[in-house]
Structure 1
Amino acid sequence: MSEFVLVPGAWLGAWAWEDVVPVLRAAGHGAHPVTLSGLAEKKGMPAGQRTHVQDIVGEVERGDLREVVLVGHSYSGIPVGQAAGRIGDRLAHVVFVDANVPVDGEAFAGPAEAAEISAHGGFWPPWPPGEFEGQGLTDEQIKRIVRDSTPHPGASLTEPAVLTRPLAELPATYVKCLLDGDDPGATVAELLTGERWRLVTMNTGHWPMFSRPHELARILLDAAAPGGTDTVAG
């Protein structure tokens, strides 16, 4: 049995995984959606990048979880990639869902994001509805994401990543959502040339836990199983 620790991207909470969790549990696995500090029901809690890494490590350690599959969507690929190096032999696999990956000494936020965070009192404001168009989402899904999103604590985006284990050593799957473009970025492209990383594609947008939750769940189950499918197009 695998234990899936599911971490949503910027602005979102554990609620983002509610259509994925039942599929994983029905297959006999544990599923643990995480809300990072400062977001959703944890709004108001101070949070930086190291806080978010500890949120993930703490979820694993509190539950004494083994055979852990860490799943990071979008921004959360950065703390997930760091947490993967901190949980030792508890780790079975990492799945980056259309995600950023940590680069040692670098932060998520570039100059544009840093300026926006500064202009909004230290928080990165959620995107308006128009930014979610063309991503395979229904109007109702877009409304729900916008309604339930939380301004993202800026310190988590501006603090640099600290890697304790090279990403190339991690057993990892990268899920590229093609409606958001087919280029995973130079860092990920290089990692995919290694023996421990593989690529999976989805014909949907950047938020597949909403637009294609069952397909995403199947990909996660494949990632947890030895010899899973290398490429999926749905």
Structure 2
Amino acid sequence: MTQYVLVAGAWLGAWAWDEVVGELRGAGHGAHALTLAGLAERRDEPRDAAIDQETHVQDIVGAVERLDLRDVVLVGHSYSGIPVGQAAQRVGDRLARVVFVDSDVPADGESFVSGNPAVEASIAENGGFWAPPTAEDYAQQGLTDEQITRIVTGGTPHPGGSLTGRARLDGPLGDLPATYIKCLLDWPELSPAVAELLKSDNWRLVEMNTGHWPMFSQPHELARILLDA
């Protein structure tokens, strides 16, 4: 039985995966959606600079080890591709595959905000947190009004320390068995870093004709891709 560990991107918690988790469990697999420190139901533990990039990596590694999971597929969406990619290198032979869902990928010594002054400005203006988007920011992403309301209502400010902290890789990311899911409606072109990683024989590309939040806009299709992975 494959064990899926799913981590949503910035502002979101485990609740974002509800529909996908149901599909995976219905297919006979384990599915464990995580909420990272400082977000959703964990937003008060603690709300300060103690939460950094390593905190989120350890959230993921710790869950895999605590639950004694094997044959693990780590799934990282958006921002969480950065801590998920690092965690994938640290769980050893527990890992079956890592899936990056329209996500950033870690680069050794770099942070999420590297070269992104707008995010840094938001963190500075909002007491150390990246402010959640408004409903208008979710337009043209294949989402219904109801889905947008759900995301906006459930989203919480994202702890800035996890965005400014630098990734630490233990080896080439291209050595991992990986699937990259590109959501074409958000932006059809791959980042240079992802395009380079896809040159590896260990990586494969899957495209989805939807926006950046497929766990809401196309949860059944996303679950099928994860099952195929």
The alpha-carbon deviation at position 42 of structure 1 amounts to 0.2
Paired residue for 2:197? Answer: 191
Match of 1:82 among 79, 86, 99: 86
Classify the secondary structure of the residue corresponding to 1:53: helix
The alpha-carbon deviation at position 184 of structure 1 amounts to 1.9
Aligned length: 223
Partner Cα separation in structure 1 for residue 187 and residue 55 of structure 2: 30
Partner Cα separation in structure 2 for residue 48 and residue 67 of structure 1: 28
Partner Cα separation in structure 2 for residue 221 and residue 102 of structure 1: 24
> Structure 2 matches for 1:136-147, cutoff 5 A?
136-147=142-153
Paired residue for 2:128? Answer: 122
Match of 2:165 among 159, 170, 187: 159
CA contact (8 A) 1:5 1:32 kept: yes
Summarize deviations over 1:190-227 as a string: whole Å, max 9, x none: 0001100000000000000000000000000001xxxx
2:100 aligned with 1:96, yes or no? yes
Partner Cα separation in structure 2 for residue 136 and residue 35 of structure 1: 24
Normalising by structure 2, we get a TM-score of 0.96
Partner Cα separation in structure 1 for residue 164 and residue 34 of structure 2: 21
Deviating beyond 4 angstroms after TM superposition, the runs of 4 or more aligned structure 1 residues are none
Paired residue for 2:215? Answer: 209
Answer with 107-116 or 69-78: which moved more: 107-116
Q: Gapped runs of 5+ residues in structure 1? A: 224-234
> Structure 2 matches for 1:2-81, cutoff 5 A?
2-46=2-46, 47-81=51-85
Classify the secondary structure of the residue corresponding to 1:199: strand
What code does the residue aligned with 2:106 have?
Answer: P
Paired residue for 1:228? Answer: none
CA contact (8 A) 1:98 1:184 kept: no
The alpha-carbon deviation at position 39 of structure 1 amounts to 0.2
Answer with 109-118 or 122-131: which moved more: 109-118
What code does the residue aligned with 1:8 have?
Answer: A
Q: Gapped runs of 5+ residues in structure 2? A: none
Partner Cα separation in structure 2 for residue 152 and residue 194 of structure 1: 32
Match of 1:173 among 164, 176, 179: 179
Summarize deviations over 1:38-78 as a string: whole Å, max 9, x none: 00000022321000000000110001000000000000000
Normalising by structure 1, we get a TM-score of 0.94
What code does the residue aligned with 2:21 have?
Answer: V
Paired residue for 2:140? Answer: 134
